[in-house]
Structure 1
């Protein structure tokens, strides 16, 4: 038996319940993992609240990012054995599996070998953020050396990863955040410019940072009314990539501005990258090299026991942290 977090109804953090359950024996193509650390993601809070892009049948489990050790291997699993240190990647259907547990079954295709010298906490905190940033900036956005890129909500784990990915390819990261107290951390992460959106004119500041030209690429998890302001910051032929919906309000598309400047707004999620072995291997090679060399780092903002999962989600949704929050079974 092991601790397993489930929710039986849609709602706030209070619907998350820690229950005792049998994780089961691994089936065809599965492994059983002893979880050491669990990375929290805003998509999980959205899933719990019923605002995510999919809504699993209830009762459902949560969590798609963790680090641990393989305890058992099912049939038709190759390349993995008992004792291997691994990190998880999201399954293609959220709710079928969940990392919020002491032990969990997981598809063997959705595992990453833990790089040498990387702690379980760093392994649980890094992969989803860096893969999302890599796929959004390098694949979808075609980011190149010398280009400015605006990264909004930059104190999030994906935002911090995007700053570091942009630096790694030689681009110029411009970070936005609502809170002036986060400026120093964003500069330390590598942001060339930091715009405080609650205190400064975002459009004017980004224009100033880009010498009046505007940014060719913006990477945004907020959407909502803020998206129209970000579109005004784009250079001609620029692209706004939206990878989240933190505002939960409709995003207005400024059609006249978009037509006049040939602008693009597109959505992005990293599930196709995570499911494509060749693309994933290319991304992992860059990210693993950065993690092992210490060029990439994800600060751990807070640690919560699994029994404190409700409080962890409340802290996650308060948006006061910088980096990644973890659950420790």
Structure 2
């Protein structure tokens, strides 16, 4: 084993090119930590925002990055059972900070509570494409939204990995999904992945189509990572006493609060991130729900494109192009 490893860090905020490979001493896991030999990395929008200095956490330079990695546990710290060594596992976003435990690298040191095993039938690429998307969807739809078979659920940015996870989850729960995408290029794949309806906003009126699909009632649950002006339209298309989950801020413009629509319909506009889940007693239940549906084949992570580790900058650029349907993965 080499005494040094390559870790991706950035020394200033900015475009993908600020990411660089730093040759560092092989890190040892501290108390309660494990070291993962990384086989695959799953990219997320949060990491783009973090790199740009636009995230909930402010980078501390030189800054690490990356929430999701899959691989083999090769070392454990004080207080961690040595039986973990040799096991395959993936990291769970929301259980650690990017500055402290960012996983972009040949190895990643993370807290023991920040890893989880996944079904052995999954590849490393699939294993790194689980927790961000399915936990995020679970928290809104199952835990907080308490989805039922009678519900219509609007999923915006539907071609993202979280969007596709939400479509799969709505299907499993017997509800009706309404996937929203900007262009027709992704419509066929969204239908193939189980969406009951797809609205192409470049060609169709969002509010009119949702009202048509729901027979004028509107959707009880809206799952939106965009924010911005679309929130006003989404509120118009939400059912009386419905709930809108805002779990991101992808829009370039400010997000206006639809006050009069919310008042007239008794709406809940709920800020939400998966960071709520790990500290809550629901966390083990959420992980088991996801594991079971992965094992049964009801959930199947969709990999859009893979890049070698040496091309992680190109992988970031590709994510920023918004061309993907599903997960972008970097392999080692």
TM-score, normalising length from structure 1?
0.97
Distance 1:41 1:8 in 2: 20
Deviation at 1:77, TM superposition (A): 1.5
Q: Aligned pair in 2 of structure 1 residues 275, 3: CA closer, same or farther (>3 Å)?
A: farther
1:50 is displaced (CA, Å) by 0.8
Pair 1:119-2:133 in alignment: no
Q: Deviations over 1:146-178 (max 9, x none)?
A: 210000010000000000111111111110000
- Give a deviation string over 1:272-293, Cα, whole Å, max 9, x none: 21344x4122112221111111
**Pick aligned residue for 2:275 from 271, 279, 294:** 271
Aligned to 1:59: 62
- Find the residue that maps to 2:51 and give its secondary structure: helix
Between the aligned partners of 2:242 and 2:81, the Cα distance in structure 1 is 43
Q: What is the match of residue 156 of structure 1?
A: 160
Q: Answer yes or no: is 1:292 the counterpart of 2:291.
A: no
Q: What is the aligned partner in structure 1 of residue 135 from structure 2? A: 131
Is 1:312 the equivalent of 2:315? yes
| CA distance in structure 2 between the aligned counterparts of 1:326 and 1:275, rounded to whole angstroms | 27
Question: What corresponds to 2:243 in structure 1?
Answer: 239
Q: Is the 8 A contact 2:231 2:258 kept in 1?
A: no
What residue number does 1:110 align with? 114
Is 1:73–1:80's contact at 8 Å kept on the other side of the alignment?
A: no
Residue 79 of structure 1, CA deviation: 7.9
Verify the 8 A CA contact 1:23 1:104 in the aligned structure 2.
no
For residues 216 and 80 of structure 1, what CA distance do their matches in structure 2 show? 46
Residue matched to 2:210: 206
CA distance in 2, matches of 1:77, 1:144: 40
The 1-side partners of 2:282 and 2:5 are apart by: 35
Q: Is this contact kept in 2: 1:89–1:274, CA < 8 A?
A: no
Q: 2:255 corresponds to which residue? A: 251
Instruction: Write out aligned runs for 1:8-87 (5 A).
Output: 8-78=11-81, 80-87=83-90
Partner of residue 327, structure 1? 330
Q: Structure 1 unaligned segments of length 5 or more: list them.
A: none
Q: Separation in 1 of the partners of 2:24 and 2:306?
A: 23
- Which runs of 5 or more structure 2 residues have no equivalent in the other structure? none
- After the TM superposition, list the runs of 4 or more consecutive aligned residues in structure 1 that deviate by more than 6 angstroms: none
> Which residue is equivalent to 1:143?
147
The match for 1:303 is 306
3-state DSSP of counterpart to 2:27: coil
Q: Deviations over 1:170-217 (max 9, x none)?
A: 111110000101111111111110000111000000111111100011
The count of corresponding residues between Structure 1 and Structure 2 is 328
Q: What does residue 5 of structure 1 align with?
A: 8
2:284 corresponding residue in structure 1: 281
Q: Contact (CA 8 Å) 2:137, 2:162: kept in 1 or not?
A: yes
Per the alignment, do residues 314 and 82 of structure 1 end up closer, same or farther by CA in structure 2, a change over 3 Å counting?
A: same
State the TM-score, normalizing by the size of structure 2: 0.96
